[in-house]
A and B are shown apart, each in its own frame.
Chain A
Amino acid sequence: MSTIDSIAPRLQWHILAPEEIERIHEASLTVLERTGVRFPAPRALAVLEAGGCRVDWASGVVRFPRAAVLAALAWAPRHYVLAARDPEQDVLLDGRHGYLSNDASGVFIVDHHTGEIRSSTKADVAASACFVDALPELAFCWGPAVTSRDAPAATRALHDAEAVFVNTSKHFQTVTTVGETAARSVAEMAVLVAGGREELRRRPILSFMQCAVDPLGHDALNLEASLVAAEYGLPCGFMPMPLAAGTGPATLAGTLVVQNAGTLSGLVLLQLAFPGTPVFLSGAPSVIDVRTGAYTGGSPEDYLLAGAATQLARRYEIPMAMGTMATGAKEPGWQAAVDDSLSTFTSVMSGADMMNGAGLLNGSKMLSYPHLLMETEIYRIVKRMAAGIDVSDDSLALDVIDRVGCAGTYLAESHTRRHARDLWRPSFWDRSPHELWLRAGRPGALEKATEAADEILATHEPRALPEDVRRAIRALVAAADASSTEMPR
């Protein structure tokens, strides 16, 4: 059984100065109060109006008095646990640890032997959840990684959730569950797995992430699902993804304001509906490719936005889920390495609590298992960097230096043996001499990761769900399928 491999960074990187963070915060409050955010869901509008917000029922636009925003921020819990079916894999969101997840909602699978691209199926959801289960670097299952495109659209989220609950004992943060009915069904699955509704509230093995509609809007079905999540006491957050120069101002500061206002507005709704419910902030801000108008899928501005948005979350002391990795590269090579290295570095050093996530290519569309493993290697490198350098009498080792002198070697020193154990070791990087590498047929990281992926897919067995729970979940999904023609999403 894996244990969670979190990062508690000693190194910190501040993209914004404290006074700059305050300016973004103040500008966000101004936008929330003056421009507002659209909530196209009657239940949400009722909650917000009752909470003192100014609601225009015709347009669905809500304007937030700053006092309401500040009160909601005060009610939101600072620390909580994303519980796992296996308690050893609980994810403690305490503002000091960062956790990586897989990327989510892909729609294709890359066959890593043939290169063939095909639509993802429920079997792929199961396999990917099992893969996530095997990797200590992935703290929880986000998404899932790919969706069950062979399942009926109306109940796809339930099929996704079933495949995840059965195949991992890690926490599940659903991204594909929208609409009140689907949300209740998935929440009820979690009740079955947790052993009761109160037990689920006490140890939430499920959380919800909802995408926002940029700029400054939400989707009706997402809002409904989020309110169900909060009703069950399940952590929930909203992820705006504004694109500078498209759905956000061309300036990074302006896009940060849109991003921050968007995610804060969701937090206010959930706190007004259920004060004290666990919530998180989130975002995946980016820039538009000004030449084509398309999503860039990786740019230096993305990392600046990610780091600055995370600094804002740190200012509020609310957990932050930040889009990380999620490269626009189409294959696991040079471009993916730039994206993954720099975005992980930025998210970790800025103090993101949840980093979503690893495994998908081509702008979060295609799952590649070797690519996912290579990204976990980058995560480990950044983890080592984030630990910094220990400077102590023991690590400075003046007595050892003096004893070894000017022409000796440290190899046989007990100090070396003691500390060598702490050194980072690669799984996929090649460190062999050039000649040896040539003789070995020039193996690259991709070949090594492919081999490792095959091994995991062939051998990993997740902790089994009790048979009666499995059957109950299956029945729940089957019933939903049967009535799916009448089932409103």
Chain B
Amino acid sequence: MTSPRLALRVLCDTDVERVHAAALSMLGEHAAAAERAATAAPETVLLAGREASRDVVLGGDSVWLAAGGPSPLARPVEGGAARRGTAADLVSALRLAEVLPEVGVVTCPPVLVDDSSLLDDLRLCLETTTKHILAATLQVGADAEVAVRMGAAVAGGVAALRRRPLLSLIGGPDSAEAALVFARAGLPVGFYAHLAPQAPETVADLARALACHHAGVLSACRQIQAAAPGAPFIYTVPPAEVLAGDVEEPALFALAALQMASHVGLPACCASLATRAVEAGWRACTDNALVLLSASAAGGPLLVGAGTLAAGAVFSPQALVLDAELFSWNARIADGITIDAERLAVAEIEQVGIGGNYLGRRHTRTHARGVWRPRILDRSPWDAWEASGRAGALEKADAVSRDYLNSFTPTPLGRAEQENLSRIVAESGL
């Protein structure tokens, strides 16, 4: 989690108003109801963890990271090429997401497994992680009904689940049916309606895509509030290319969309960690570093997609560790610089004087603890780096993910909850 003190705006107030007005004009007779719905939806949304210490609150100043896609392919923890996702890959992804402190929310499932049902995946998620679970594959109402029952089984009942929603749903236009089920159960949802052609191959203007998407979100919010007044609704920002084709700079779209979310007072979820790079290297890093920095600076969203490559097609434990490092890096940047008399340190500067050294000073000992420290970044001297076999960030990330998984100790679900989950899945016949 990071609480940004910095602010970056890509649209001026007038531009925001123009985009909003354009969206309302697309909504036609539903415009007023859509605006009312956005006002009626809560400004903050609790995404509860199985343990309260894992709770995430969207809509404040904090930025949160969500791990996973879902991805049909997975890069094995032990390395090598991406393959069809296996049960082992799914478990590794869930465990790594559970143990990395930068990850606030887990996407369900981070890895799609052949011959595994969505509800089996959800059961595994509920059993493995104590963090909030973001259902990203649910579309059918019947599946969503079972998912709600499963969530209630872990939360301690339907009312408890409503109070502390362990599950939420984020999706595109195909998720509307499942979203309505979740919303009626008091679970946070976010999706957008199709008001414009979905043409990923189409190059489109960013302003046009932004207005179309904003209208789609407002339309979805109207549907949810009509079905479940006051239901928590999340302004969902998909990867820019989903809406606008092969767009110029995805970070720019994400920034602008987050401003639109803020304009209508809705908490936001941004699936912008969606690099098209197929390896966790230079390009993936450039993509994600800029997206994370700009989104963090814009303030407040849940950033989805950590650990994914190839536009979400591949989940990579290595990439998740690297994205977590990027998030940590950006968290420090977003925290800004505190200016007060103690930190300006004029007296300290005078005492150390010209040509002096601050290393052994009490002021330094007090404040050096706050200096950011890397998990992956290499700061060794050249000779030491060569002696280590020129280990790069990718090798380190592999080692970190293996270490974390080896030392992982799960916080198990109670036996009764586990049995309930199994029974619900079996009874569903889905």
Contacts and interface: CB of A to CB of B under 8 A. Distances in A.
B249 A24 contact: no
A303 interface: yes
Contacts of B338: 251-253
B330 interface: yes
A442 B358 CA distance: 48
Interface string A236-256: 000000001111111111101
A27 interface: yes
Nearest to A428: B283
A424 interface: yes
B355 interface: yes
13 contacts: A250-B366, A251-B338, A253-B345, A258-B349, A290-B373, A297-B379, A298-B377, A333-B281, A382-B290, A401-B212, A405-B197, A410-B197, A444-B279
Counting chain B residues whose Cβ lies within 8 A of the other chain, the interface size class is 35 or more
B25 A398 contact: yes
B337 A217 contact: no
A13 B8 contact: yes
A144 B98 CA distance: 49
Contacts of B247: 423
A210 B261 CA distance: 47
A330 B9 CA distance: 34
B350 interface: yes
Given A338-B285, A381-B286, A382-B290, A37 B354 contact: yes
A473 B252 CA distance: 48
Contacts of A49: none
A11 B8 contact: yes
Given A389-B206, A398-B22, A308 B283 contact: no
A437 B373 CA distance: 35
A329 B289 contact: no
Interface string A373-405: 010011001101100111110011110110011
Contacts, number: 323
B350 A34 contact: yes
Nearest to B21: A396
A416 B204 contact: yes
Interface centre among B207, B286, B378 (most CB of A within 10 A): B286
B22 A334 contact: no
Contact of B356 (A215, A382, A422): A215
Interface in A330-366: 330-338, 340-342, 345-346, 349, 362, 365
A200 interface: no
B344 A254 contact: yes
Contacts of B332: 299-301, 304
Contacts of A217: 354-355
Given A337-B286, A420-B203, A437-B278, A409 B197 contact: yes
B368 A400 contact: no
Contacts of B310: 434
A244 to B, nearest CB: 7
B207 A395 contact: yes
Given A251-B367, A397-B208, 4 more contacts: A34-B350, A258-B349, A342-B333, A385-B294
A328 interface: yes
Interface in B228-259: 246-249, 251-252, 256
Interface centre among B249, B276, B363, B393 (most CB of A within 10 A): B249
A362 B380 CA distance: 10
A446 interface: yes
B194 A406 contact: yes
B429 interface: no
Contacts of A247: 357-358
Contact of B357 (A246, A257, A400, A408): A246
B371 A287 contact: yes
A439 interface: no
A300 B9 contact: no
Nearest to A62: B354
B364 A245 contact: yes
A23 B286 contact: no
Interface string A283-296: 00001111111101
Nearest to B331: A300
Contacts of B195: 406
Contact of B10 (A254, A378, A388, A431): A388
A479 interface: no
Contacts of A429: 277, 283, 286
A14 interface: yes
B252 A300 contact: no
Contact of B358 (A249, A296, A338, A365): A249
A243 to B, nearest CB: 9
Contacts of B51: none
B208 A388 contact: no
A319 interface: no
A38 interface: yes
Contact of A419 (B205, B290, B372, B385): B205
A16 B358 CA distance: 24
Contacts of A15: 6, 336-337
A329 B378 contact: yes
Given A14-B6, A245-B358, A395-B208, A424 B248 contact: yes
Given A249-B363, A337-B286, A330 B382 contact: yes
B211 A396 contact: yes
A330 B209 CA distance: 40
Interface string A98-132: 00000000000000000000000000000000000
A411 B329 contact: no
B343 interface: yes
Given A215-B354, A409-B197, A300 B372 contact: yes
Top 7 nearest A-B pairs (CB, nearest first) are A254-B345, A300-B332, A337-B285, A250-B367, A391-B15, A251-B343, A334-B393
Contacts of B282: 332-334, 336-337, 374, 444-446
Contacts of B337: 15-16, 20, 252-253, 256, 304-305, 308
Nearest to A253: B343
A20 B5 CA distance: 13
